[in-house]
Structure 1
């Protein structure tokens, strides 16, 4: 059989060529956890990675496991390209999570806590409290904890309460009778949600260093005082994780904001997904809790430590140890922008590309601030997805509206876990006089666009900012994202048309330069992949490089498989979930997939095609996933000037050369961390970009 015939004989839709997206997502979380063991990071940053793993896993259960469970509950099972039934996926998740959570607590107890002890940072156990510390804890308990606690005895008139999602609680085994003669034997202590979970001990009652006590330790110590006259036989912490994904029936919703406000109230009391208990909790009590939450033993996690390690992140800001944290740096500023003049002059005829956080987000904010005050600016249009409660961007939009500009803001109310904040921002902007719309029903607005219309002479000139990340100054210091500032007339017209479609109604408008989901982006990306395949088949140079947070869309994956079969070299930098299986003989030998995990969260989306030496590069807001390409409003913008193309190509190249913080995806779905070969220099992409682009570090 010829090679061509063999390729035709391979069914690229076969489930064997696809990795399950949920299990791939878990692999990303595991890579995050592994950073806690990397002693090349400062110690407090390693603790940070451990905490982030906890927070990521919480969200994974709140959203992804919840979705799979609901599919089974309502007989709506969906089998993806990988062919795994939801029940199979859940079984694999439980097995993988069980082993990984156990490893997480081993890392905490056996590695991080001893290392912190050596640095004079202590988490004091009850058995180690000095007399002075014990007296202080008692006073804190009596003054700050006991007045807020409402212990709940469990009996027929006090049924098991509905506990808040991820809240800290204790189940207490009691002996004796209370004042009313009841002898139930069980009670609950919900920890006050207003109190910190970790309390710093005053320096004057310690022997120096940083000393902390867990709230749970204080409640354990004095639990018996909450049940006078009775004997506490055991007190065990636990928490339950619930379905926190909001469901809104768009077909039966007249007012999205009102419907969302109603749903937010119920988020804390969704269906139970996971139970975490202290590892010394007796089996009969753990089974009692499982029964109350209608959970199975596979949903139970026994942990050797606090049930919510994510809250450990609170202590990092309370410890002043610069030697145990990343060296601060000052983001760079673009040389082509003259900050002593109008920013409009700088970007009118010359495109500006910024890579955050190595380069500052300030020019984006400054552009909007200047527009808010400039008497020649007549209109500003902006999309907001995740922005932040104290956003400088929102402040500038409010100022612009109050200054009489025509301000239109498309706020995506359904940005998961930011819904409440976005409702607040929407109200604030409306009160200032801005026109606020919520995008298109059924399609999240995920595009990152700013359009400024300025009167120059007798004409209107459009200025545009397009980005791969959110308009969030905090994220711009922690996420890698591109910003693109331009006065290009065609791009300005395209962005204007996208806003027309978002705020008005009508047929899809013809757009010249941008790719636009859900209309053209998916189709165009596949066309560009197919073009590289055609070049390879014709013996011409070919190369595809794509960088994104996720790759799951089956049609695009099949197009990449076909390109690989034709000999195209395909290099994919996919931070998180990836359903493509690289290195499969006859299918994907020419495809390499790597994930970069480092100081900054890789978030930029870039699509590069060699195009027989006539490079084409696009950056945008969309990951390579079904939801982004088919069910969201997204934009991808071209990088057209040769200087900016060369720059972006070199920045992609450094990610492919990384041999320290890169993880290479294997055909079986596992990842192997890259290591420098003997005698080879260490290459850390983020460190190189920081050195190259940032103004300084100190």
Structure 2
């Protein structure tokens, strides 16, 4: 008898299916070659984070003897075995794709070669590069009775070296050492070529070091040199209640992260058995060792493909974001926003409009206060400079910096210190909660009154990712939204009794309940015989209560269309459960990142933008924000965005009840939502 499917898809297995969709872009021959290389890099980076956080968490459960079965039907032990098997298969597929992409790049004049294949002039150049640039940075680390095994940093590349002393034979136990491949140097080295040649030839840094490894061990003979890489548990465990200074506590925890428990060991092919046993013994890892036939850590391909000059025919055409038309012809953004709400659609519209808004506020003598949240910002953020300038101009500047933004903790600590030195009030949010809401509030004196200007967004205040992610931003001077914005900052920065939100849905207190009520309302419309329709776009859907509520609505007859880029634990298309639900995922040139919600509401349509995915952490352990779009014209614009995504039949995949994704079928003509330029640029409803 066929095993009955669970009502839910397991979160971690769903994530692997998402990474497989990323891999599909690397395998797609219609994608430009250098872009395929970038997707291979993304697969690697995704797997690194998955291992260091999700798989590490399951490993912790196993060590603690945790055996409880989760709501999707998996125990930690069962899930661990399934994940190791599937990730192993994924890595094999990744490296087969890597070899294919590199062969095709070689035919186009981009060659990754080995030291053994260099000509005389190239060998001389590499000899000079090694001795002048690489050798001074290297540190050989021997392991013996007087020198204990050194700290192996997470996700760094190393070489394991076996050596013999003079006169020793194979019968003698070898000497063991490791050498870190310095991450401060480029992972790949370009070789000199003939004049006027368009060919670009490279070797990998670890191959170069391996060739000259004997220069690090005078008097000894290296006879085996192999690359390896360790992934450690990278989850921060903070005692925020007992931390007198959260910033200092996170800095301490970041230092502890370097000593996190090993989760995965990657080794080069044909690794010497003695060296492998030494590593496994010293690192105390045995059950997750992956042998890789190719360069370890393909994330270097992102910079390799992006920074390589020329070869533009092997990339997507350059996209130049346009400045929002509503703001382009004005020197006073406040005047425009006072008259009408303005939507921004990134990356098609420029993030410079947000930067310009903050710069204008910083210089405007009538602006009294600026308040904003900061989750992930870029390395050279103009917003931070403008906030510092505003504080220098005597304005009240308050910045809620989320220090616990995973893997951006160090950068955010640096920003926090810089802002404090400039005179800004820096707040680290509420104990136990990440501040993930994206909101900017400007308070301005206008005559005898104060007016609030608000920017609410689905994505971070980051000018770099705004060119790579699809996100929505809303400028408004609506007094109700302004009042809620002030109340939100008061709750985060001070003491405040529970506030009756007029427009916002705010997590953890109330957002989930609002979402559940909106779904229930559509259910009631359906039961009353009225058309009922929900379209929701998000990154992930894994909260059981939200899924069950969608199942209820589906059984009542509500048409539900979900656009979920990554994890989706809901199982669509199951008779008598979810037959009215369809789930789509789009993986393409840009990272789909906007969170949008449409409800038909008996014809009185409502549209919301949000920072929150429908995950338990977003709804219960983060400060999140959902904001209604009041302007009918802007609501229609966002409905256009959702409809275009639903019409995609080129890069869209549909989740089936099996838990697997299949290419979306529909329409006589191909529709690629991210590339329908004429429709994207006219997405705003005029009038």
Which of the five TM-score ranges fits, normalised by the shorter chain?
A: over 0.9
Other-structure match for 1:5 = none
State the alpha-carbon separation in 2 of the partners of residues 208 and 481 from structure 1. 38
Deviations 1:146-169 (A, max 9, x none): 222222233222232221111111
1:542-575 per-position Cα deviation (integer Å, ceiling 9, x unaligned): 0111000000111110000011111111100000
Task: Work out which of the residue numbers 515, 521, 531 in structure 1 matches 2:511.
Answer: 521
Corresponding residue SS for 1:380: strand
Contact (CA 8 Å) 1:154, 1:184: kept in 2 or not?
Answer: no
TM-score by length of 2: 0.95
2:672 aligns with 684
Deviations 1:605-637 (A, max 9, x none): 011111111111111100000111111111111
Please state how far the C-alpha of 1:251 moved relative to its aligned partner.
Answer: 2.2
Shift of 1:208: 4.5
CA distance in 2, matches of 1:444, 1:258: 17
Q: How far 1:202 sits from its partner (Å)? A: 2.6
- Residues 1:154 and 2:152 aligned together: no
Residue 52 of structure 1: aligned partner? 42
Q: Shift of residue 689 of structure 1?
A: 5.1
Q: Deviations over 1:454-507 (max 9, x none)?
A: 001100011000000000011111111100000000100001000000000132
Once residues 175 and 578 of structure 2 are traced to their aligned partners in structure 1, the CA distance between those partners, rounded to angstroms, is: 62
- Post-superposition Cα deviations, 1:71-98, rounded to whole Å, max 9, x if no partner, equal 2223455643212111211111100010
What pairs up with 1:207-222 in 2 under 5 angstroms?
208-222=198-212
Distance in 2, Cα, partners of 1:98 & 1:152: 30
**Separation of aligned partners in 2, 1:77 and 1:350:** 56
Cα shift at 1:295: 1.4
Structure 1 residue corresponding to 2:355, chosen from 365, 373, 388: 365
Separation (CA, whole Å) in 2 of partners of 1:144 and 1:352: 52
Aligned partners of 1:331 and 1:693 also within 8 Å? no
Q: Counterparts of 1:604 and 1:556 in 2: how far apart (Å)?
A: 19
- Between 1:70-79 and 1:640-649, the stretch displaced more is 70-79
**Structure 1 residues 178, 374: CA separation in 2 closer, same or farther (over 3 Å shift)?**
farther
1:660–1:674 CA contact under 8 A, matched in 2: yes
Match of 2:107 in 1: 118
Determine helix, strand or coil for the equivalent of 2:537.
strand
Corresponding position: 1:304 with 2:293: yes
Q: 1:267: Cα distance to partner?
A: 1.9
Are the equivalent residues in 1 in contact too, given 2:176–2:275 (CA < 8 A)?
Answer: no
| Residue 269 of structure 1: how far off its partner (Å) | 2.4
Output the aligned Cα RMSD: 1.9
Mapped contact 1:515–1:524 kept (Cα < 8 A):
yes
The one of 513, 531, 538 equivalent to 2:521 is 531
The yes-or-no answer on 1:403 pairing with 2:402 is: no
- Kindly indicate whether the alpha-carbon contact (under 8 Å) linking 1:562 and 1:587 is maintained by their aligned counterparts in 2: yes
Residue 497 in 1 paired to residue 482 in 2?
no
Matches within 5 A, 1:177-576: 177=166, 184-204=174-194, 208-297=198-287, 299-316=288-305, 317-337=307-327, 339-576=329-566
Structure 1 residue 145 corresponds to structure 2 residue 114: no
C-alpha separation in 1, matches of 2:664 and 2:11? 23
Q: Secondary structure of 1:593's match?
A: strand
SS at match of 1:61: helix
**Aligned equivalents of 1:600, 1:498: Cα separation in 2:** 31
Find the counterpart in structure 2 of residue 693 from structure 1.
Answer: 681
Q: Contact 1:78/1:85 (CA < 8 Å) preserved in 2? A: yes
Superposed displacement of residue 601, structure 1: 0.3
Distance in 1 separating the partners of 2:315 and 2:387: 35
Choose from 117, 133, 136 the match for 2:122: 133
Measured in 2, the distance between the counterparts of 1:375 and 1:685 equals 43
Deviation larger for 276-285 or 570-579? 276-285
Q: Contact between 1:452 and 1:462, CA under 8 Å: does it hold in 2?
A: yes
TM-score (norm 1): 0.94
Q: Secondary structure at the match of 1:269?
A: coil
- Structure 2: how far apart are the matches of 1:361 and 1:690? 20
Contact 1:153 1:184 in 2 (8 A): no
User: 1:687 deviation in Å?
Assistant: 0.8
Q: 1:205, CA displacement in angstroms?
A: 8.4
1:30 equivalent in alignment to 2:20: yes
Preserved CA contact (<8 Å) 1:532 1:542: yes
Shift of 1:224: 2.5
The farther-off stretch of 246-255 and 311-320 is: 311-320
Any conservation in 2 of the 1:462–1:487 contact (CA below 8 Å)?
A: yes
Verify the 8 A CA contact 2:647 2:666 in the aligned structure 1: no
Q: 1:675 to 1:566 in 2, by over 3 A?
A: closer
2:8 corresponds to 1:18: yes
Deviations 1:633-672 (A, max 9, x none): 1111101221111111111011111001011111121111
User: How many equivalent residue pairs?
Assistant: 676
Find the aligned partners of 2:549 and 2:122 in 1 and give their Cα distance. Answer: 65
Which digits, 9 at most, give the CA deviation of each residue in 1:391-417, with x for residues without a partner? 111111111110111111111110111
Determine the C-alpha separation between the residues in 2 that align with 1:286 and 1:157. 21
* Structure 2 residue ranges without an equivalent (≥5): none
Does the 8 A contact of 2:41 with 2:302 survive in 1? yes
Whether 2:626 is the aligned partner of 1:663: answer no
